[in-house]
Amino acid sequence: MSSNPGTRAPFDPDSARRTVFQALIDAQREWGGGRIALVDGDDRALSYDEIIRASFALGSALKAGTRAGECVGVMLPTGAAGALTFFALSAFGRIPTMLNFTAGVAGLKSALRTALVKRVITAHRLVELAGLEELIAGLTGTEIVYLEDVRKNLSLVNKLTAVVGKMAPNFLAARPDPKKPAVILFTSGTEGQPKGVALSHENLLVNVAQVRSHVGILATDVIFNPLPVFHCFGLTGGTILPLIAGIRVICHPSPKQPKEIVRRIRQHGATILLSTDTFINQYARTADDGEMASLRMAVCGAERLRDETRAFVRRKTGITLLEGYGVTETAPVVAVNQIETNRPGTVGQLMPGMEARLEPVEGIPGAGRLFLRGPNVMLGYIKPDAPGRIVPPEGGWHDTGDVVSIDEDGFIAIRGRLKRFAKIGGETVSLAVVENIAAALWPDNAHAAVTVPDGRKGEQIVLITDARDVRREKLIAWARNHGVSELSVPRRVVMVESIPLLATGKTDYVTVQKLAESDPKIGDPRT
């Protein structure tokens, strides 16, 4: 296992002044058309030549009945199908609109209305394996296109387009303004109705350049990506970046298959894993000694990396965990630690070319509400109440809604989302601290804290946990022994079989909130 910090590319924002598909064509030239670039979940390997050729053939077929600049829905798992569909649409100037097939009928219909999507591309295999028949039936008024049918019915024109495209890709590829939308993604909706996020070609490619200049990558690296392509980390970090950087990427259709993922990491000699706290914990527990030995680092985002996870994974596998921070609105990477300057408790330093400012938050000293500006900040939101209209961030500054502190060396520590603080008897309490107390006592379990109204103190904290022996007395004792205010001890504890998660591994706080507000007989509440 190597601790080599790798090689950093100089940050060159000019490299982003092209389309995403043009960047793929340039990578084909730079790394060689025969080079294996992507390995699918069934271990089928695709070279750059095959990706370019398939993108032109598929794009030629998919563009029929659509217009340049139109949003086309993509509902596919991580892998060759998702990547090829993304680039196929991009090659002909359509805007891939990445859809979360775990969001339910109401969430998907809202997304389709918001982005004015009339056509959704999916696959029979996904629908069958994921049991999405009812979801598809619920998308009334939307044209559903199945990739298997498209491939089976490719015309002579589609096939000739693929041949010409491979020989003269620049002649056929669309060339929209790099500052125009390249993809529409949706916020996770953990705390409200999801909004569309419009990211330009420049946003995506600048973020790729920022990451390559900040995180050392070796020419021999192999990235393992099990994160969904409807999540920006899985799309930019796990699909676009490796293909442009000439780094082989091993795709896996779901992060929720620890045994299979561990087996494939070993099989392919993966050296970099993209993950979250929740999933890396599962993989390390599943792995036998030495099974993840090829990994030199795991880059973890989407949720807080717990100290308990960091210690356990290091002890069990020896892998270096690098915590980072990103939001969909910044394409997504904002900050990430480095192997040689890995500061636990922080998410590292800001990407080059970005600015940050903090606005004071009452009751939270030494920290502030984080605003970001830079070339990777989105074009703007598309909101459900104004479908199709991109509303740019005011003055170019994106309000993250996160409360952070930044030390003298520029390392950022996330204190929590502004909505994840409670007001208890006039005092401000971080719900992340509440979860940290529970995690310190029961590190092998999952915990989520929310608030419910309280007639006397305004709000009270409820801890939802899958641990079986949680007692308030233990929480109170830990808080006293560690100098933590007892206001951070939940008033009520509800025990459940499992903590609801989103497909990205984040806690599903909408569902957790409903659990807390439901009849106390649900679960096993104790005070």
Do 364 and 493 share a structural domain?
no
The last residue of a domain, from among 352, 372, 406: 406
Same-domain pairing of 80 and 36: yes
My answer on whether 365 and 457 are in the same domain is no
CB 331 within 8 A of CB 378: yes
- pLDDT at site 423: 67
Q: Show the beta-strand stretches assigned E in 196-247.
A: 196-200, 222-225
State the pTM of this model. 0.86
Q: What is the mean pLDDT of residues 267-273?
A: 95
Contact call for residues 122 and 133 (beta carbons, < 8 A): no
pLDDT at 6: 60
Q: How confident is the model at residue 193 (pLDDT cuts 50, 70, 90)?
A: low
Residue of 504, 29, 20 whose CA lies nearest to 225: 504
**Per-residue pLDDT at 150:** 94
SS (H, E, C) 258-326: HHHHHHHHHHHCCCEEEECHHHHHHHHHHCCCCCCCCCCEEEECCCCCCHHHHHHHHHHHCCEEEEEEE
Say whether both 220 and 317 belong to one domain. yes
Nearest by Cα to 87 from 54, 65, 114, 120: 54
Are 97 and 119 in contact by the 8 Å Cβ rule? The answer is: no
Q: Is residue 84 part of a domain?
A: yes
At 199-208, the pLDDT tens digits run: 999 999 999 9
Encode pLDDT of 9-49 as tens digits. 777 888 889 999 999 999 999 999 999 999 999 999 999 99
Is residue 527 situated within a structural domain? no
Q: How confident is the model at residue 308 (pLDDT cuts 50, 70, 90)?
A: confident
pLDDT at 271 over 70: yes
Total count of domains within the chain: 2
Q: Is 266 contained in some domain?
A: yes
Alpha-carbon Rg for the chain in angstroms: 23
Q: What is the pLDDT of residues 44-67, one digit of tens each?
A: 999 999 999 999 999 999 999 999
- Domain boundary (359, 379, 406) is at 406
Question: Residue 99 is part of which domain span?
Answer: 16-406
Is the predicted pLDDT of residue 147 greater than 50, yes or no?
yes
CATH of the domain at 438: 3.30.300.30
In a domain, 82, yes or no: yes
Residues 213 and 322 in one domain: yes
- Nearest CA to 104 out of 516, 518, 511, 507 is that of 511
* Cβ density class 185-206: b for 16+ within 10 Å, e for less: bbbbbbeebbbbbbbbbbbbbb
**How large is the average pLDDT for residues 135-157?**
93
Task: Indicate the pairing of strand 458-465 with strand 447-454.
Answer: antiparallel
525 has pLDDT over 50: no
Using the predicted structure, report yes or no on whether residue 526 has a pLDDT greater than 60. Answer: no
| Residue 397 is assigned to a structural domain of this protein | yes
H/E run at residue 96: strand 95-98
Work out the number of other CB atoms within 10 angstroms of the CB of residue 129: 12
Regarding whether 442 and 354 lie in a shared domain, the answer is no
Nearest alpha-carbon partner for 451 in 417, 421, 426, 496: 421
Model confidence at 119, pLDDT cuts 50, 70, 90, reads: very high
Residues 159 and 258 in one domain: yes
For residues 329 and 261, state if they share a domain: yes
Answer yes or no: do 373 and 455 share one domain.
no
The rounded mean pLDDT for the chain is 88
Domain end point (choices 340, 371, 406): 406
Rounded distance between C-alpha atoms, residue 78 and residue 123, angstroms:
12
State whether 68 and 41 are in the same domain. Answer: yes
Q: State the number of CA atoms in the 13 A half-sphere of 233 facing the CB.
A: 30
Flag whether 485 is in a domain: yes
Q: Residue 348 carries which side chain, given as an amino acid letter?
A: G
Q: How far apart are CA 436 and CA 306, in angstroms?
A: 8
What does the pLDDT read at residue 17? 92
Highest mean pLDDT among 169-173, 217-221, 356-360: 356-360
Alpha carbon separation from 223 to 220, 250, 390 (Å, rounded): 10, 6, 33
Residue 519 predicted with pLDDT over 60: no
Residue 496 belongs to a domain:
yes
CATH number at residue 372: 3.40.50.12780
Is residue 129 in some structural domain? yes
Q: Name the residue among 333, 86, 310 with its Cα closest to residue 205.
A: 333
What strand order describes the sheet that includes 320-326?
A: 45-47, 36-39, 248-251, 222-225, 272-275, 297-300, 320-326, 333-336, 349-350
- 400 with 446, same domain: the answer is no
Q: Is the pLDDT of residue 320 over 90?
A: no
pLDDT at 527 over 50: no
Look at residue 73 in the predicted model and tell me its pLDDT.
97
Rounded-to-integer distance, Cα 48 and Cα 64, Å: 25
| 168 neighbors 189 (Cβ within 8 angstroms) | no
361 and 510 share a domain?
no
Of 372, 378, 375, 374, nearest to 390 (Cα)?
378
Rounded distance between C-alpha atoms, residue 287 and residue 263, angstroms: 8
Cα–Cα distance measured from residue 258 to residue 263, given in angstroms and rounded to the nearest whole number: 8
Helix (H, G, I), strand (E, B) or coil at 73: strand
Give mean pLDDT, residues 479-497. Answer: 81
Q: For 98-102, 329-333, 413-417, which range has the lowest pLDDT when averaged over its residues?
A: 413-417
Instruction: State residue 310's pLDDT score.
Output: 86
Average pLDDT over residues 390-400: 95
* Tens digit of each residue's pLDDT (9 = 90 or more) over 433-470: 888 888 888 888 888 888 887 766 667 888 888 888 88
Largest pairwise CA distance in the chain: 74
Share of the chain above pLDDT 70, in %: 93
pLDDT at 425: 60
